Amino acid sequence: MESLVEKLEAYKAEIKQYAAAKADEVEAFRIKYLGSKGLVKELMAEMKNVAAENKRSFGQLLNDFKVFTESRYEELKSAAGNGQEKADTGMDYTLPGDPLPQGSRHPISLVRNQMISIFQRLGFAVAEGPEIEDDWHNFTALNLPENHPARDMQDTFYISQNPDWLLRTHTSSVQVREMEKGNLPIRIICPGRVYRNETISARAHCFFHQVEGLYIAEQVSFADLKQTLYFFVKEMFGSSVKVRFRPSYFPFTEPSAEMDISCLICGGKGCSVCKHTGWVEILGCGMVHPNLLENCGIDPNKYTGFAFGMGIERITMLKYQIKDLRLFSENDLRFLQQFTGAV
């Protein structure tokens, strides 16, 4: 019995000093002491040779020794595991992480959202429609029948599969779709992407974005149109901005007008942006042509309405003093990052 105690103490000292830096050394430890032919099993087997009166204390000692060996094994395993991980990945987990770059809203989205919010406060709902349109909704219903010379101003891309299909040149097609539904009165704005067959330059692109508006009810007048647009301009550009209307021509409105605002760069004194006139054109508008109402099944003797349309790019360029329209679609982070934090 005493010799057993001495033997176990010697093994314990050996186990304590056992060094295992790598996983295979830890495994060697397990095989040597805890394996099926290991030391612990070997000592257990000696139980049968022990005298009956010593069995209890012998068993106790062996059990303690087994627990001690197992805990040392766990210790070696976890120490070697940590070391192994570091060696494998070559990473230093104490270094700070890579920062996630902060995104920003595209300036077109910023201005579109602001425009929608201004018109929503006046009770306008947002209406949307398809970007691939048919001739009727994009041209004919809008008083632009085939061979009408005004179609030349809106040359677009046609779908070869079907000559009646085209990429819409304005969101007026959405207005036609709303008018055809016949739920009067109508008070909508139509934001969306439109296409034109234009040479790409600082001032023109083959696609751009519009917000068009339409209000049809009984006794709507040109005065309502002016008040609506005055409100929009003051909200968008500030109360010091001046507004003027010039007579114009559009096939879908009569009378028609273009609206200018006083130049935001020079305050009206004259500069290169306003071509030294002090005024910048921002939108076209007018009273909805009676032919349009008839085309969409609305009685022009009972209902009148106004419509307006503007390019979001143009408004954005004026608001943020951007000189080249191509910047909006080039995905240049040096440009886009200037809008970080803007809401």
185 cis-preceded (ω within 30 degrees of 0) = yes
50 forms part of the interface with Zn ion (CB under 5 A): no
Nearest distance in Å: CB 203, Zn ion? 16
Q: Provide the CB-side half-sphere exposure for 95 (13 A, CA).
A: 6
Count of residues engaged in binding Zn ion, rule: CB under 5 A: 6
State the DSSP code for 247: E
Q: How far is the CB of 242 from Zn ion (least distance, A)?
A: 12
CA distances from 101 to 78, 98, 337, 340, 341 (A): 37, 9, 10, 11, 13
Between 34 and 273, CB nearer to Zn ion: 273
> Mapping DSSP to helix (H, G, I), strand (E, B) and coil, where does residue 33 land?
helix
Query: Among residue numbers 269 through 308, which ones bind Zn ion (CB under 5 A)?
Result: 271, 273-274
Nearer to Zn ion, 283 or 307 (CB): 283
Which residue, 184 or 266, has its beta carbon nearer to Zn ion? 266
How far is the C-alpha of 21 from the C-alpha of 19, rounded, in Å? 6
Nearest distance from C-beta of residue 168 to Zn ion, angstroms: 32
Residue 243 CB, shortest distance to Zn ion, in Å, is 15
CA–CA distance, 29 with 73 (Å, rounded to integer): 7
Judged by CB under 5 A, the stretch of 205-213, 223-231, 260-268, 306-314 that binds Zn ion is 260-268
The helix (run of H) or strand (run of E) holding residue 109 is helix 107-121
Structure tokens at 106: 């595209």
126 binds Zn ion (CB under 5 A): no
Q: Does 34 bind Zn ion (CB under 5 A)?
A: no
Handedness of CA 89, 93, 96, 97 (dihedral sign): positive
Q: How far is the CB of 314 from Zn ion (least distance, A)?
A: 15
Contacting range for Zn ion; rule: CB under 5 A; set: 96-104, 228-236, 264-272, 311-319: 264-272
- Sole window of 119-127, 165-173, 263-271, 306-314 interacting with Zn ion (rule: CB under 5 A): 263-271
Q: Which residue's CB is nearer to Zn ion, number 126 or number 264?
A: 264
Cα–Cα distances (Å) from 122 to 74, 212, 222, 227, 322, in that order, read 73, 14, 16, 11, 29
Q: Output the DSSP codes for 296-313.
A: TT--TTT-EEEEEEEEHH
Give the residue with the Cβ less far from Zn ion, 274 or 310: 274
**Please, what is the minimum distance in Å from the beta carbon of residue 240 to Zn ion?**
14
Q: How far is the CB of 321 from Zn ion (least distance, A)?
A: 11
Per-residue DSSP letters for 320-341?
HT---GGGGGS--HHHHGGGTT
User: Among 150, 206, 266, 327, which residue interacts with Zn ion (rule: CB under 5 A)?
Assistant: 266
Q: Tell whether residue 263 is a contact of Zn ion (CB under 5 A).
A: yes
Strand locations in 100-151 (E)? 125-126, 132-134
| 265 contacts Zn ion (rule: CB under 5 A) | yes
241 binds Zn ion (CB under 5 A): no
Smallest gap from residue 198 Cβ to Zn ion (A):
25
Strands (E), 154-301: 165-167, 186-195, 207-217, 243-250, 253-262, 279-288
Closer by beta carbon to Zn ion, 233 or else 274:
274
Under rule CB under 5 A, residue 26 binds Zn ion:
no
CB of 245 to Zn ion, least distance (A): 19
Scanning 48-56, 92-100, 248-256, 266-274 for contacts with Zn ion by CB under 5 A, the matching segment is: 266-274
Residue 73 near residue 33, CB atoms below 8 Å: yes
CB 250 within 8 A of CB 287: no
Of 190 and 233, which has the nearer Cβ to Zn ion? 233
Of 215 and 279, the one with the shorter C-beta distance to Zn ion is 279
Residues that bind Zn ion (CB under 5 A): 263, 265-266, 271, 273-274
